[in-house]
Chains A and B, each alone.
Chain A
Amino acid sequence: MIEVEGLTKYYGLHPAIQDLTFRAETGEIVGFLGPNGAGKTTTMRILTGYMPPTSGTARVAGFDVLEESLEVRKRVGYLPETVPLYPEMTVVEYLEFMGSLRRVPELETRIEEVLERVDMLERAESYIGSLSKGLRQRVGLGQALLHDPEVLILDEPTIGLDPAQIIEVRNLIQDLGADHTVMLSTHILSEAQQVCDRVMIINRGRIVAEDTPANLQAQLAGAEQILVRAAAEARDLVPLLRAVNGVVEVKPTEHEGEVEVRSAPGQDVRPLVARAVVEADLDLLELRSAGLSLEEVFLQLTREDAGTEARAEG
């Protein structure tokens, strides 16, 4: 379990994260989504006991990251953004070293299990320096799993992996998510959408949205948007459609005879809109849903937020 309240971290005078508050339960996979420099790595470093926050509290697996750092570190598996490996060690030597620091019982058996899970058994005796980027990523992931931690914190776990391995790792994460708390960061929306039970979008150190991927998409799209094109003047269409039940807003677009219709969330007004147009004796040329993809939502959200802040600063 992860409980974070009012977490703030300044690097000098520059705030990297500000007043973050969130929870992640056992058996939950939480995705941390945000553009470069949003504060994902900073947050994870605080949660893993690597650095203290400037203010606010964070409890991981029931222990305070500042007061009971050692207890937290025993219970967390962490895959940092730059995978921390010793090139002059073999994969097994590396896992033996980390496993002994973490007092993993029956280490040899466990190492074999973990290597199997990350599909690295054949390369167990290879020097880490000779491994490709993706293989190193897997070794790093193996290190994070080694002590079967209650909480897994993975900073961009699928970066550098090949498509087949990305699927493997996502499956692995979902597997682990059943009885662990998993928090992962990513830039890839589809990944967050596929893997996570809950997604937090972070921008400029603040959480700007948080929900299940599905809800997020609906909520962030604000409402269903549809585009209507008819053989008519847009200014005739606007009052006509505004009268339709469930329609919130009607705006002409730059195209001749086309309007954008926004409806209240969760309401499909397409049949009513179609009927209204036809009943007004106009020819309906096109009617399509223009719901935003999560990708567009994400871009819009992070851009808008950046804009607001820039204005506030200026």
Chain B
Amino acid sequence: MRNIWIIAGRELRRYFVSPVAYAVAAMLYLILGVIFFINIYFGLQTGQINPDGRMVMGPMVTILLFVAPALTMRLIADEARMGTLELLLTAPVRDWELVVGKWLGVFGFMVGVIAVTWIYPLILHRMTNPGIDQGVLITAYLGLVLLVGSMLAVGVFVSSLFDNPMAAFFTTLAILLGLWVISGLGSGAGTASEIIRYLGIVDHYYDYLYRGIINLPDVVYFLSLTSLALFLGTQAVESRRWR
């Protein structure tokens, strides 16, 4: 267990000195800031500000689709490329501890980045009367964190398959996009369509959690996807030893 924290802590520190991580975070805040400003600006024009703290969350999900692959791409692929994976795989660390530690590091960083966006609903809350519904907001953020956790886990898994971070980036992006659009294919009735709809990642967020309702099947979906991806990542790291 302690190994997980050591690895996660190192990754976290690495993000804080990484220009890429800062660029990613800055881009996120910039885009959200512009969207927020436009919303408020037109709200003031019409004299009617929509007291919905989630105005930044919809776009954030789209941005995260690109942020998740960018932040996870080098987690394991780069260690393999640099030869440092040999160091970690000959240290007394279990393969799953390595994978979970890597995920926890990037997850912790992203939770921090997302937490800062709370500032937009906070401003909105001050500007409106009676303010915004905190329950809905908190649930929507909780859902976002679950969603991000599973997206990052997919990224960690894919990174464990490659020796090249760019390959990991595009593959993760493709998988996440696939999970995003797949629910569109399951529009008909029948078990097959239902399964396809269940696989789609964003519906599990928008249908309930985004609206402020904690729907257990959706929570289970995100936790399962996270666990599955981390499990597959562990298998992939282990299989590297057999190559």
Residues of A within 8 A of B (CB): 11, 45, 48-52, 70, 73-74, 76, 78, 80, 82-86, 88, 97-98, 100-102, 143
Contacts and interface: CB of A to CB of B under 8 A. Distances in A.
B92 A70 contact: yes
Interface string B58-88: 0000000000000000000000001111110
Contacts of A84: 82-87
B84 to A, nearest CB: 4
Interface of B: 3, 6-7, 10, 14, 17-18, 82-87, 89-94, 241-243
Contacts of B7: 101
A88 B19 CA distance: 12
Contact of B86 (A80, A97, A102): A80
22 contacts: A48-B90, A49-B89, A50-B86, A50-B89, A52-B242, A70-B92, A70-B94, A73-B90, A73-B92, A74-B92, A82-B83, A85-B84, A86-B82, A88-B14, A88-B17, A88-B18, A97-B10, A98-B87, A100-B6, A101-B7, A101-B91, A102-B91
Nearest to A101: B91
B91 A73 contact: yes
A52 B241 contact: yes
Given A80-B86, A84-B83, A98 B14 contact: no
B108 to A, nearest CB: 17
Interface centre among B85, B89, B243 (most CB of A within 10 A): B89
Nearest to B78: A86
B84 A86 contact: yes
Contacts of B89: 49-50
A140 B50 CA distance: 59
Contacts of B17: 88
Given A51-B241, A85-B84, A76 B10 contact: no
Given A84-B82, A84-B83, 15 more contacts: A45-B86, A48-B90, A52-B242, A73-B90, A76-B90, A80-B83, A80-B86, A82-B86, A84-B85, A86-B82, A88-B14, A101-B3, A101-B93, A102-B91, A143-B87
